[in-house]
Each structure stands twice: as structure tokens, then as C-alpha cells.
Chain A
Amino acid sequence: MKVIYFAWVREQIGVGEEEVSPPGDVATVAALVHWLAARGGGHREALASPERLRAAVDGVFAPLDASIAGAREVALFPPVTGG
């Protein structure tokens, strides 16, 4: 699946998006965040505090406990600040 990052999450990780293949037991957004953070470096820095993150699964805002089964695109980002 594709993972997309925005704002300071993107800056700390150092890329805007990447293709990942998490193992089957990574079933939720929160589990994906935990799995990505274990890569260390910028991933750990950006994803160490999941409570600071928001997510979208296939373009729809989703809570961190949402399933990622079958998802093509998961976005991770800070709380939005438009308007």
C-alpha cells in the first residue's frame, strides 16, 4: 500500500510518500503507525506519539483504530489547520 505524509510528519520522515508492505498482523492505522515507527530515524521521530496524528484511509478521515485491510492509500498527518 501507499503511505502519504503531510506537514511536519512529511518533513520529519523526509519523504512525502512511500510504498510499504506491512505484515498481515498490522491490521489498523495505529498498528501501521507503530510498525513504521519501528524503522527508527525520521519515522520514529514523526510517529512516536500517535495521539498527535490524524489519518485518512483511501481518502476518508479515519480514527487510529480503523482497519487498513484492503486499503490502497493511508495518509498520516497532524490535525488539520485550514480556513
Chain B
Amino acid sequence: MIRVVVDRAPIDAGAEAAILERGGAGAVATFTGLVRADDGVDVLELEHYPGVTEHALRTLANEASERWHLLAATVVHRVGPMRPGEGIVFVGTAAAHRAAALEACAFLIDRLKTDAPFWKRETRGGTSSWVEARDSDNAAAARWRAEPSG
């Protein structure tokens, strides 16, 4: 089962994990990305490309499901304004065994960062700026293209 959600509402990571755990898998891996509280950001705002974003996430989830024979994959991404400590993104995978679940989870968050149309804007002390893309994110995504099928 593929579950993709892009929404302004806060992410309930526990509820999302519980859905995956009910599916009869031997292993569930999850990743939650949070707004960092330690670098002075007051508000983080996520803009996206409606329709295209959901399609990109679904394409990645389908690719992960085929490559690692997943029983289920969930990608939930929040958009709009959020505060430090709140969840930005949840990725969860369910598989028969841990290696597939863990690798597919890492694949999804790494590739999501370069393949899905989201843009972050930070506000610190009343001043807003768009977050620059990082080369390290491109490198993390590229390693999943370079490696043979898992």
C-alpha cells in the first residue's frame, strides 16, 4: 500500500507508524524530519507545486516498493508555516525484514530532497530568506542511483 499526503496539518508520526505496523510486516522503519530549533529559526515555511509534488512522491514510493519488495510505504510532507520542533516530513516503510525497510526508508528521504518540488523559507527575527539547496543532499540522492538494485 502506498500512502502519500501533502498537507498543512501537523504530522502525527505515531498514527502513521501504527498504520504501517498493522499491515503484517516483519519490519517497519520510519524517519521523521523536524524543524531544527537550534539555529535561531522562528518560522519555517514550505512552498510546493500542487499536484506535481504528490505525483513525484508517489513515483518515489512506487520505485522503493518495487526495488525493496515493500509491503507498504508512506510519505507525509507538511507544507505552510511551522515552528521549531514540529515535523516537516515522515517517511515509513514496511517489509518482511529490516534491511529492506531501513534501506527503502533512507532511499525515500534522500531522493525526496532532490526529486520533489518543495522550497523552504526561514524567518529569523522578522527577516525571511529562502533556503539554498545543499550539495550534500545531491550527493546523498545520487548514491541511490549509482548503486545496483538492492
Q: Is B19 an interface residue (CB 8 A)?
A: no
CA distance A82 to B23 in the complex (A): 28
B52 contacts A82, CB within 8 Å? no
Q: Which residue from chain A places its CB closest to the CB of B109 in the assembled complex?
A: A83
Q: Is B133 an interface residue (CB 8 A)?
A: yes
Known: A6-B119, A56-B49, A61-B115. A79 touches B88 (CB 8 A): no
Q: Which residue from chain B places its CB closest to the CB of A11 in the assembled complex?
A: B130
Contact indicator per residue, chain A 4-21, by CB within 8 Å of chain B (1) or not (0): 101110000000000000
Contact indicator per residue, chain A 61-83, by CB within 8 Å of chain B (1) or not (0): 10000000000000101111111
A-B residue pair count with CB separations less than 8 angstroms: 68
> How many chain B residues touch the partner (CB < 8 A)?
28
Q: Is A59 an interface residue (CB 8 A)?
A: yes
B133 contacts A81, CB within 8 Å? yes
A79 contacts B133, CB within 8 Å? yes
Contact indicator per residue, chain B 81-101, by CB within 8 Å of chain A (1) or not (0): 000000011000000000000
Q: Which residue from chain A places its CB closest to the CB of B33 in the assembled complex?
A: A83
A80 contacts B118, CB within 8 Å? yes
Q: Which of A14-67 contact B (CB under 8 A)?
A: 56, 59, 61
B109 contacts A7, CB within 8 Å? no
The listed residue (B51, B109, B120) touching A81 by CB distance below 8 A is B120
The listed residue (B112, B117, B132, B137) touching A77 by CB distance below 8 A is B117
B47 contacts A7, CB within 8 Å? yes
CA distance A80 to B48 in the complex (A): 9
CA distance A8 to B88 in the complex (A): 20
The listed residue (B109, B117, B121) touching A80 by CB distance below 8 A is B117
Using CB atoms and an 8 Å cutoff, list the residues of chain A in contact with chain B. Answer: 4, 6-8, 56, 59, 61, 75, 77-83
